[in-house]
Amino acid sequence: MPLSPEQQAEITEQRGAPQQTLRAVSEGMEAHLYTAYPVLDHGFIRVVDYMGDDAAICQAARVSYGKGTKSVQNDEGLIRYLMRHWHSTPFEMCEIKLHVKLPVFVARQWIRHRTANVNEYSARYSILDREFYIPAPEHLNAQSVVNNQGRGAALEGEEADRVLRLLREDAMRCYDHYEEMISQEGQQGLARELARMNLPANIYTQWYWKVDLHNLLHFLRLRADSHAQYEIRVYADEICKVVADWVPFAYRAFEDYRMGGATLSATALDCVRRMLKGESVTQETSGMSKGEWREFEGLLG
């Protein structure tokens, strides 16, 4: 189950005792507090706490930029200006703390974003639950033949059944041995910090992850992208929904300039100018490599 009975009881107690505050609040985010949103088969994300809103971004920018922002007539316009010109510091004034339950192999991808504060469930002190990520059949893919870190076509039929059986059997056997090593009748048992090394990478872990909005948006730009691995992308997609309610002006600007926009090299921009003048530009005359040209054509559709 995504939430343990103890966690659910804690959430129920917290939601049942709202408190008044003098700090600025985001009504959109208030609706998400203490709510766990399921991800994958046993995972979830939930907002534990947050600081700031769209107004906090503008407040910080106006302190920093002073008279330079007087031409911007409203908060949304200012936020779009900041996003458009890569002024990142004002977005660091907002923070979010998430409680996340996720498979270990997803956590190892996630932790590559080294701009957050993280505290993870410790298998040195506690015993991990018998919960493993097993892909749904439609997400069980072969290795891509063109991308060394991507997926190809979905496995089907007997091969899909065989792989799913191996995943389940291996996970259960490893956990059986894990339990056997840490709790032997009449003996002390192996230390938990050693027994955990036998567990597979699809077992679930949990952590608290606190990050400012600037670095969160960088995480989402990479992990909510269609090319990201499915198992981390679904977490990013769920976080996107929360951020859209928390800082709607900032999120709309993020969608427009980061998720929906593109960065062109000087060479690519020169090609665009030449095309607008009516010139027929090819890969051979573009000054780009085959890989760059392929990506450029993809951007232009």
Angle at 229 between CA 226 and CA 234, to 5 degrees: 75
What is the arithmetic mean of pLDDT over 133-159? 84
Contacts of 212 (CB under 8 A, 6+ apart): 91, 92, 93, 94, 95, 115
pLDDT per position as a tens digit, 62-108:
886 655 555 556 899 999 999 999 999 999 999 999 999 999 999 99
pLDDT per position as a tens digit, 1-30:
578 888 888 888 888 887 788 888 999 999
Which residue would you say has higher pLDDT here, 57 or 187?
Answer: 57
Is 109 annotated in a binding site? The answer is yes
| pLDDT for the residue numbered 88 | 94
Q: How far apart are CA 291 and CA 71, in angstroms?
A: 42
Q: What is the pTM of this model?
A: 0.90
Is 120 annotated in a binding site? The answer is yes
Q: How far apart are CA 181 and CA 197, in angstroms?
A: 11
Catalytic one among 62, 223, 273, 294?
A: 223
Q: How far apart are CA 247 and CA 94, in angstroms?
A: 9
Cβ atoms of residues 118 and 98 within 8 Å? no
Is 201 annotated in a binding site? The answer is no
Beta-carbon-side half-sphere exposure of residue 11 (alpha carbons within 13 Å): 17
What is the arithmetic mean of pLDDT over 275-296? 95
Is 125 annotated in a binding site? The answer is no
| pLDDT for the residue numbered 285 | 96
Cβ atoms of residues 98 and 239 within 8 Å? yes
Q: What is the DSSP letter of 137?
A: G
Nearest Cα to Cα of residue 170 among 131, 144, 199: 199
Residue 146: pLDDT band (50, 70, 90) is confident
| pLDDT for the residue numbered 64 | 65
| pLDDT for the residue numbered 199 | 96
pLDDT of 246 above 90: yes
What is the arithmetic mean of pLDDT over 37-54? 96
Average pLDDT of the residues of the chain: 91
Is 265 annotated in a binding site? The answer is no
What is the arithmetic mean of pLDDT over 173-196? 88
Least confident of 16-20, 102-106, 109-113, 291-295: 16-20
pLDDT of 186 above 60: yes
What is the arithmetic mean of pLDDT over 105-130? 94
User: Would you call 223 a catalytic residue per the annotation?
Assistant: yes
Which tokens in the block code for residue 6?
Answer: 């103890």
What is the arithmetic mean of pLDDT over 250-272? 95
Q: What is the DSSP letter of 129?
A: P
Q: How far apart are CA 172 and CA 184, in angstroms?
A: 18
pLDDT of 185 above 60: yes
Is 71 annotated in a binding site? The answer is no
Is 114 annotated in a binding site? The answer is yes
| pLDDT for the residue numbered 68 | 53
Helix H, strand E, coil C: the string for 224-259 is: CCCCCCHHHHHHHHHHHHHHHHHCHHHHHHHHHHHH
| pLDDT for the residue numbered 1 | 54
